[in-house]
Amino acid sequence: MSQREEPAPGVLYVVGTPIGHLGDLSPRARSVLKNVSAIACEDTRHSGHLLNSLGAQSQRFSFHQHNTKARLPQLLQLLNEGQSLALISDAGLPGISDPGEQLVAAAKAAGHQVICIPGPCAATTALVSSGLPSGRFCFEGFLASRGKERRQQLSAVASETRTTILYEAPHRLVQLLKELAQLCGDERPLQVARELTKRHEQQIGPTIAAALQHFLEHKPLGECTLVLGGAPLSGPDQQSDAHWRAELTALMASGASASDAARQLAQQSGQSRRALYALVHQMVENESE
């Protein structure tokens, strides 16, 4: 297959960088970072070690949550001038729990091509090594640190029937595990991954209780990725899935849409609305196959 020459003028390259092991940087990523006109980094000092090792001489710009508004026009101007621009984060794929998505959206809105150079991602790396269901999953990233928003997010995570992926800072990890234990139960499947791809990589589980006990005995170090098993689909009266499928089918037969059927049944039965939405979605998918 013929490959276009990269980097190309006026193109934004979203480049995945290692999350720990430098050997995970692809040859294509190396080439783009070494030859691109300019590079937007989450932290120029942090990324400087990687870029210097590649011999990258491109102009570097900091681009993070505190300077997004001021920096966006500068970066778009570079693209308008026909320069090629790479976007990298401190580790992993830009746009996952960082402001990279704003630059991508702005570049596309201005008519510039955006090309992703795939690379490592802590969320998917932790997921596929967890042994938990990965066919359908929910990514939440970092939760709000306190208040009503955090309580609402935790409640939603606890009732989510899909596998959920969370990020957490080390100084907040034990508190998060305690909250999850309270809302989800001690024996809910969970894996906490840290130091992914590095020499001292750890995957701690297989339940919330086991992970909490470990980190009560061993102080957490470094950001962690949590992979939480989904909530079982069950209600106050422990009716079977077949019962709820029948109820949903009857509501849809009477003219309700799938989402309306789930909402109405949740109101009538006290069942988890999220659980019923997941079930009706599964029913619709099965019918379309």
Q: pLDDT of 33-54, one tens digit each?
A: 999 999 999 999 999 999 999 9
Beta strands in the chain (DSSP E): 12-15, 38-41, 59-62, 85-88, 114-117, 137-142, 163-168, 190-194, 202-204, 224-228
pLDDT score, position 274: 80
Q: Distance between terminal CA atoms of the chain?
A: 33
Strand partners, 59: 38
**DSSP conformation letters of 36-52:** -SEEEES-HHHHHHHHH
pTM, two decimals, is 0.77
Higher pLDDT, 108 or 255: 108
pLDDT score, position 263: 87
pLDDT score, position 110: 97
Average pLDDT over residues 56-68: 94
Q: pLDDT of 128-152, one tens digit each?
A: 999 999 999 999 999 999 888 998 8
Q: Say yes or no to pLDDT of 236 above 70.
A: no
pLDDT score, position 237: 45
pLDDT score, position 239: 55
Q: pLDDT of 184-227, one tens digit each?
A: 888 999 999 999 999 999 999 999 999 999 999 999 999 999 99
Split at pLDDT 50, 70, 90, the class of 238 is very low
Beta strands in 155-237 (DSSP E): 163-168, 190-194, 202-204, 224-228
Q: Say yes or no to pLDDT of 268 above 90.
A: no
Q: Say yes or no to pLDDT of 235 above 70.
A: no
How many degrees, rounded to 5, is the angle at CA 193 between CA 160 and CA 195?
Answer: 150
Angle between helices 27-35 and 44-54 (to 10 degrees): 100
Average pLDDT over residues 257-274: 81
- Six token digits for residue 15: 């480049």
Three-state DSSP at 144 gives coil
Cα(124)–Cα(130) distance, integer angstroms = 10
Three-state DSSP at 141 gives strand
Three-state DSSP at 150 gives helix
Split at pLDDT 50, 70, 90, the class of 2 is low
Q: pLDDT of 64-123, one tens digit each?
A: 989 999 999 999 999 999 999 999 999 999 999 888 999 999 999 999 999 999 999 999
Within 13 Å, how many C-alpha atoms sit on residue 204's CB side?
Answer: 23
In terms of Cβ atoms closer than 10 Å to its own Cβ (0-12, 13-18, 19+), residue 273 is middle
Three-state DSSP at 221 gives coil
